[in-house]
Structure 1
Amino acid sequence: MKKKNIQEYRLQNLSCANCAMKFEKNVQSIPTVEEVQLNFGAAKLTVKGDASIEQLCAAGAFDGIKVVPASSKEETNTLFYKKKENILAGISLLFVIAGYLMGALQGENHIITIGLFLIAIIIGGYTIFKDGFRNLLHFDFDMKTLMTIAVIGAAIVGEWKEGAVVVFLFAVSEALEAYSMNKARQSIRQLMDIAPATALVRRKGQVVELATEDVQIGDILIVKPGQKIAMDGEIINGMSTVNQAPITGESIPVKKEVGDEVFAGTLNEEGALEITVTKHVKDTTIAKIINLVEEAQAEKAPSQKFVDRFAKYYTPAIIIVAIIVGIVPPLIVGDWHHWIYQGLAVLVVGCPCALVISTPVAIVTAIGNAARQGVLIKGGIHLEQLGHIKVIAFDKTGTLTKGVPEVTNVLAFQDTSEELLIQLVAGVEHSSQHPLAKAVLNYANNRSISSVKGTDFQSVTGKGAYATVDNQQIFVGSVQWIQEMMEIPTIILKEIESLQCEGKSVIVVASKNSLLGIIAIADQVRSNCNNVLQNLKSIGISNTVILTGDAQTTAKAIAQQLHITDVKADLLPEDKLNAMKELQKQYGVVAMVGDGVNDAPALAAASVGIAMGGAGTDTALETADVALMADDLGKLPYTIRLSRKTLRIIKENIMFALGLKILALLLIIPGWLTLWIAIFADMGATLLVVLNSLRLIRIQK
């Protein structure tokens, strides 16, 4: 089967949401294009099929949209003073000023005055009229169509001066809209510029500088102090501190040595490093982050879907109102000139620019800000859901705790010595990836206790594991599991309970016929957990829950230490899923914080799944709705504050966009609505929406 030809492109000068939809339709109409997807927030185009850049540029020529390959480092937007429409607007302003001067000298109805205003209208409105007339023929009533009708109508009724001023002010409004989207998209451009475009590579004994696209897996990178690391890889020589802020949002440098993983775009601060490349440039962590952020900005939030549906009926409704205003009152009271003029002003008020841009500009800004802070939010819907969170469920191990448990107590029974007990357990756990197993293996290594690797290893999900060690079958697991096989004496159960009350996990060791001993393991609580949970309560997260596979007493000890309100323990993976569903029935919108691997079912079922340590875990990046790129819970309160602020700003934007227009429309009643007021209402709403959304840039951790 032939592989589909899929190409990605960056778009220049894409600032109008309506124009973006029209451009997408134009590209789809190219015969050789099978499918097209336009990401307005990221100014990115994905095309399935065959289409040349010339064809794509032609599809966007109506609004000056230019197309460049996605890999291009070319500046993605034309400078303000170089844009054709802005140059024409500037020339138009000169003729408007000249018209005013001539009007003051010769009167507004003088032929030279009218001529100057007419030239201003033609020059400033050339691109508007060209598209407006074409749209009118196809009954496509976008904002340029409405402006075309309004300005020509103003000229017909003799309002040359206002027609000229409206054309200029509309150009100013368009420029503001373009500025706002460019400002909001800066977060993506900054991410794209993080990783260097070239790398020093040692090949066949020679050090050469290569474009990152030409670097292969297995190549050796040479990174000097003060240089950025160009590719993801593993250190094979050297030691240094690396500033990982671009990826994780944490400004404190991290010590790196041989065997440690490093990321493209991070800064090597002190020592020289040699790094084996482990990923191609398109697969690096920063590349994935950029791709996921762009996809997130393309995904429409519920509020944006509502606005899009509303706008679909809003524009036709405004046209009907304009026709009614222009025709009905003069049939009753006369004065056709006045009421037709009022109807034209209604058309200008009806431009949906501010309304359409009200939600996407806020979401693009918020998601970009979060990405710079080391928080990956994978869509507007998740951003909005976070704002409604009242309950957060936490996995315990690796989330509330450091995830590096240590053996604290070893109790051997009968003729078994402590050393032999550790040998047997280490023999079973050699093949296990469980954190508690690693704790026992580390304990054995630190005390130079040698062991024989067990055979016939079997893991029992949520219960433990067993293997044959020294010709006997050894079982290592939870208290409940061992109790299914044999009776545990009351005195030992009391000892286990005492250890669990201290917040320690207890594993029991047994052979087929007898109990051999118990091992207590403690995982230390993260140092900032108390502060994080206090911050969450201060912002209204009144209920917090632990969902863990650990014993009830162990989980309760952690909950008491951190003042967590509820505990659900002894849970298998499917039990965590059911517990999450119960929480949602009880509270509605519930978030789950986990590691993105063991907690995958619960994370997927949660209203918002939040994964820890996304920078080093592909699974977290792929499965979670939100990824905290640093292994740091401290980002959680910031993320919730950002989402709530975004929700408030979206609501404010919709109020600004509709409120100013409603106020302007109310001026029809006394007959005070003018084209000037109409265009200022539209431009003012756009400006308010833009500036209000850009406030989200200032929100920091």
Structure 2
Amino acid sequence: MPVATAVQPSPAATTAPRTAPRRTRVWALAEARWAAAATVAFLVALPLQLAGAPAWAWGPLYALAYATGGWEPALAGLRALTERTLDVDLLMIVAALGAAAIGQVMDGALLIVIFATSGALEALATARTQDSVRGLLDLAPARATRLTGDGGEETVATAALVVGDTILVRPGERVGADGRVLSGVGEVDQATITGEPLPVAKEPGDEVFAGTLNGLGALRVRVERDAGDSVLARIVAMVAEASETKAPTQLFIEKVEQRYSVGLVAVTLAVFAVPLLLGAELAGALLRAMTFMIVASPCAVVLATMPPLLSALANAGRHGVLVKSAVVMERIGQVDAVALDKTGTLTEGTPRVTAIRPLPGAGLSPDALLTCAAAAEHPSEHPLGRAVVRAARDRDGALPAVADFAATPGTGVRARVGGALVEVGAPARLLPGDDREVRSVVGELEESGHTAVLVVRDGVPVGVLGIADRLRTDAAATVAALRALTGRTPLLVTGDNPRAAARLAEEAGIDDVRAGLLPQDKVAAVREQERAGRRVLVVGDGVNDAPALAAAHTGVAMGRAGSDLALETADAVIVRDELATVPAVVRLSRTARKLVVQNLVLASVFIAGLAAWDLISELPLPLGVLGHEGSTVIVGLNGLRLLREAAWRRAAGRAG
């Protein structure tokens, strides 16, 4: 027997606030606290040293910076040595101690601070990713109402549900498991799974997903997947798996660092040992070896890379784009393919009345039809109803009073407006008989990608409203700019229906449309592009986009309406919700990467020249320090050019 739609919402569903996902605080991380202590000690000691204060004033502060910032990498490096691996962090600790041994205490402390800060940022990024995955799991309810064989009810943990169980989903509750509706009619907000902007009508035979939000109707659902195999659980698994696939790039960097570290240590030892074997004094040999370690240390290379990327990152941040790291800033410029979500990304993400069609003979103007429908919808909380009310108020703001309001899930609303009974809702439910004229108007609107809403007065259809999500004003220009940057038109990936997707894609200038996609389908579309040898940039905003954002070469989330998981999973966030900033950041990243190459060449020339001088002849320590620090200053200033406002204007202008 069907469940009556009069079932009341569960108290837990309507009164209990949802707990926001816990976010790891920066100061909760030991790495951040140690890095902060080292930085503060360094920043206090440096001006004292430069001001000519006695060594007892600034020496202990530098020692504190060494100890607080260096003990963890030193310990990790010593552990790596026990596994016959030379850790690059240990090399930096040795270089810092070597610098201190020959009087260059400040240089060594700066090395310590740089590497301690880098480790803290890496730890924070890892912790925030784990937080976001835990937050996604909170979407699934912890308990569900299971129907027993004798017609009773029992509350059980959703993890205890098995395939074949029947659960009752009351109004306002989240669905406890993936399954199929056995009885009942309602509308389910499943934007977290499919990205569709509007609730979807559900009736017997329709599929529902765990974690989606039921509307007014009550549903009896037969469980078809275990909790661990639900679409929501698979999203969690895919985010974790896709995040791990980015590790090979890190492994490559570690291999380069390992070889450089081994080579530098070997050459430093040779620079120390060979003169001793030839009869040189111990102090002179040690000074020469430490000079070599300082001039050959990668400080200049590190600073050659970071200032351009960090300057680009800061410039993008000033213009509403939060890029989460310098590594991400570099990766953005490497993309050669783009996949765009539809709802909330290409579109505004808010349904709007875009067509008003009074029927011949109804005697209503478009404004009168809209006002009539809005009056009936005014007490409703349905997104379509709110869109109708908003459109009417945008025109004149005045709505007549209503009486006898009632809402029927899956059908629409009815109310008395000015003495007439007005019904507003789904044409399939409200249309009396086979009215070809009305069906023609409805079909025309639906073919163009609209959701059709029929207005009936005293049993007679008087008009049809078309509701659709509106394309962003900068969408077409953004698509054209991305096409120019990558050499190919962006791909549209959406969980929305094919007709709505095709309409929006045509307006935006996109010809490759993938519609009706679940999260795993979006990931498959990204992987398909990657198998073709492309580095894909994905732009999205919903929970359903998170796996694709994680799987992509680079993920960008729309920040204003973006889900917590999308914002955490993405590599960059568009805070001001301006889609046109995507191509601008791509171009800014490419400019930064060019400066990185320039700086690396310059830094390598300085390091190679100074190291060769020390090997072939005898490089005076002051000159070595001057050359080393001078190259660092030059490449640093070159990178800071991207902080200027002109750099962003050029990037945005070229991006269209």
- TM (normalized to structure 2)? 0.54
Supply the distance in 2 between the matched residues of 1:87 and 1:388 (Cα, whole angstroms): 45
Supply the distance in 2 between the matched residues of 1:123 and 1:601 (Cα, whole angstroms): 55
- Taking the TM superposition and a 5 Å limit, the aligned residue runs for 1:476-515 are 476=425, 482=428, 495=441, 498-499=444-445, 505-507=450-452, 509=454
Distance 1:329-1:643 versus aligned 2 partners, 3 A rule: same
Q: Which amino acid aligns with 2:452?
A: I
- The match for 2:95 among 127, 138, 143 is 143
Distance 1:368-1:439 versus aligned 2 partners, 3 A rule: same
- Counterpart of 1:324 in structure 2 is 270
- Counterpart of 2:524 in structure 1 is 581
Structure 1 residue 65 displacement after superposition: 0.8
Q: Does structure 1 conserve the Cα–Cα contact (< 8 Å) formed by 2:66 and 2:112? A: no
Q: Which amino acid aligns with 1:392?
A: V
Q: Does structure 1 conserve the Cα–Cα contact (< 8 Å) formed by 2:272 and 2:289? A: yes
Q: Which amino acid aligns with 2:31?
A: Q
Supply the distance in 1 between the matched residues of 2:558 and 2:607 (Cα, whole angstroms): 45
Write the deviation string for residues 210-250 of structure 1: whole angstroms up to 9, x where unpaired.
xxxxxxxxxxxxxxxxxxxxxxxxxxxxxxxxxxxxxxxxx
SS in 1 for 2:577: coil
Q: Does 1:466 align with 2:411?
A: yes
Q: Which amino acid aligns with 1:692?
A: N
- The match for 2:355 among 371, 396, 408 is 408
Q: Does 1:590 align with 2:536?
A: yes
Structure with the larger RCO, 1 or 2 (CA within 8 Å, 6+ apart): 2
- The match for 1:521 among 458, 467, 471 is 467
Q: Does structure 2 conserve the Cα–Cα contact (< 8 Å) formed by 1:304 and 1:359? A: no
Q: Which amino acid aligns with 1:556?
A: A
Coordinate RMSD, CA, aligned = 5.6
- The match for 1:38 among 32, 42, 51 is 32
Q: Which amino acid aligns with 1:65?
A: A
- Counterpart of 2:49 in structure 1 is 85
Q: Does structure 2 conserve the Cα–Cα contact (< 8 Å) formed by 1:532 and 1:634? A: yes
- The match for 1:682 among 618, 628, 644 is 628
Distance 1:670-1:617 versus aligned 2 partners, 3 A rule: closer
| Structure 2: runs of 5 or more not aligned | 1-21, 79-89, 118-245, 650-656
- The match for 1:391 among 317, 337, 340 is 337
Structure 1 residue 38 displacement after superposition: 1.4
- The match for 1:442 among 390, 395, 409 is 390
Q: Does structure 1 conserve the Cα–Cα contact (< 8 Å) formed by 2:66 and 2:109? A: no
Supply the distance in 2 between the matched residues of 1:65 and 1:530 (Cα, whole angstroms): 52
Supply the distance in 2 between the matched residues of 1:627 and 1:449 (Cα, whole angstroms): 43
Supply the distance in 2 between the matched residues of 1:35 and 1:539 (Cα, whole angstroms): 40
Q: Does structure 2 conserve the Cα–Cα contact (< 8 Å) formed by 1:326 and 1:336? A: no
SS in 1 for 2:465: strand
Structure 1 residue 690 displacement after superposition: 1.9
- Taking the TM superposition and a 5 Å limit, the aligned residue runs for 1:417-436 are 427=376, 431-434=380-383, 436=384
Structure 1 residue 146 displacement after superposition: 1.5
- The match for 1:694 among 640, 643, 646 is 640
Write the deviation string for residues 578-628 of structure 1: whole angstroms up to 9, x where unpaired.
134313322454334344478666556655443435399878755654332
- Counterpart of 1:65 in structure 2 is 41
Supply the distance in 1 between the matched residues of 2:482 and 2:321 (Cα, whole angstroms): 17
Supply the distance in 2 between the matched residues of 1:375 and 1:145 (Cα, whole angstroms): 40
Supply the distance in 1 between the matched residues of 2:345 and 2:473 (Cα, whole angstroms): 12
Q: Does structure 2 conserve the Cα–Cα contact (< 8 Å) formed by 1:611 and 1:627? A: yes
Q: Does structure 1 conserve the Cα–Cα contact (< 8 Å) formed by 2:353 and 2:465? A: no
SS in 2 for 1:687: helix
- The match for 1:351 among 285, 297, 300 is 297
SS in 2 for 1:520: strand
- Taking the TM superposition and a 5 Å limit, the aligned residue runs for 1:218-257 are none
Q: Does structure 1 conserve the Cα–Cα contact (< 8 Å) formed by 2:538 and 2:548? A: yes
- Taking the TM superposition and a 5 Å limit, the aligned residue runs for 1:48-127 are 60=38, 65=41, 83-88=47-52
Structure 1 residue 343 displacement after superposition: 3.5
Distance 1:411-1:592 versus aligned 2 partners, 3 A rule: farther
- Counterpart of 2:476 in structure 1 is 530
| Structure 1: runs of 5 or more not aligned | 10-33, 46-55, 67-76, 92-121, 152-166, 183-299, 459-464
Supply the distance in 2 between the matched residues of 1:546 and 1:515 (Cα, whole angstroms): 40
Supply the distance in 1 between the matched residues of 2:109 and 2:508 (Cα, whole angstroms): 52
Q: Does structure 2 conserve the Cα–Cα contact (< 8 Å) formed by 1:132 and 1:146? A: no
Q: Which amino acid aligns with 1:85?
A: Q
Q: Does structure 1 conserve the Cα–Cα contact (< 8 Å) formed by 2:482 and 2:489? A: no
- The match for 2:582 among 633, 636, 640 is 636
Supply the distance in 1 between the matched residues of 2:101 and 2:343 (Cα, whole angstroms): 65
Q: Does 1:366 align with 2:344?
A: no
Distance 1:659-1:374 versus aligned 2 partners, 3 A rule: same
Q: Does structure 2 conserve the Cα–Cα contact (< 8 Å) formed by 1:177 and 1:690? A: no
Distance 1:647-1:615 versus aligned 2 partners, 3 A rule: farther
Structure 1 residue 317 displacement after superposition: 4.3
Structure 1 residue 385 displacement after superposition: 3.7
Supply the distance in 1 between the matched residues of 2:272 and 2:568 (Cα, whole angstroms): 56
Q: Percent of pairs identical after alignment?
A: 25
Supply the distance in 2 between the matched residues of 1:525 and 1:88 (Cα, whole angstroms): 63
Write the deviation string for residues 504-529 of structure 1: whole angstroms up to 9, x where unpaired.
51425499xx9967432355544333
Distance 1:421-1:665 versus aligned 2 partners, 3 A rule: closer
SS in 2 for 1:527: coil
Q: Which amino acid aligns with 2:390?
A: N
Supply the distance in 1 between the matched residues of 2:547 and 2:308 (Cα, whole angstroms): 31
Structure 1 residue 408 displacement after superposition: 1.6
Supply the distance in 2 between the matched residues of 1:491 and 1:145 (Cα, whole angstroms): 87
- TM (normalized to structure 1)? 0.51
Supply the distance in 2 between the matched residues of 1:374 and 1:133 (Cα, whole angstroms): 37
Distance 1:405-1:639 versus aligned 2 partners, 3 A rule: same
Write the deviation string for residues 1-54 of structure 1: whole angstroms up to 9, x where unpaired.
xxx9x9977xxxxxxxxxxxxxxxxxxxxxxxx9613179xx7x4xxxxxxxxx
Q: Does structure 2 conserve the Cα–Cα contact (< 8 Å) formed by 1:529 and 1:562? A: yes
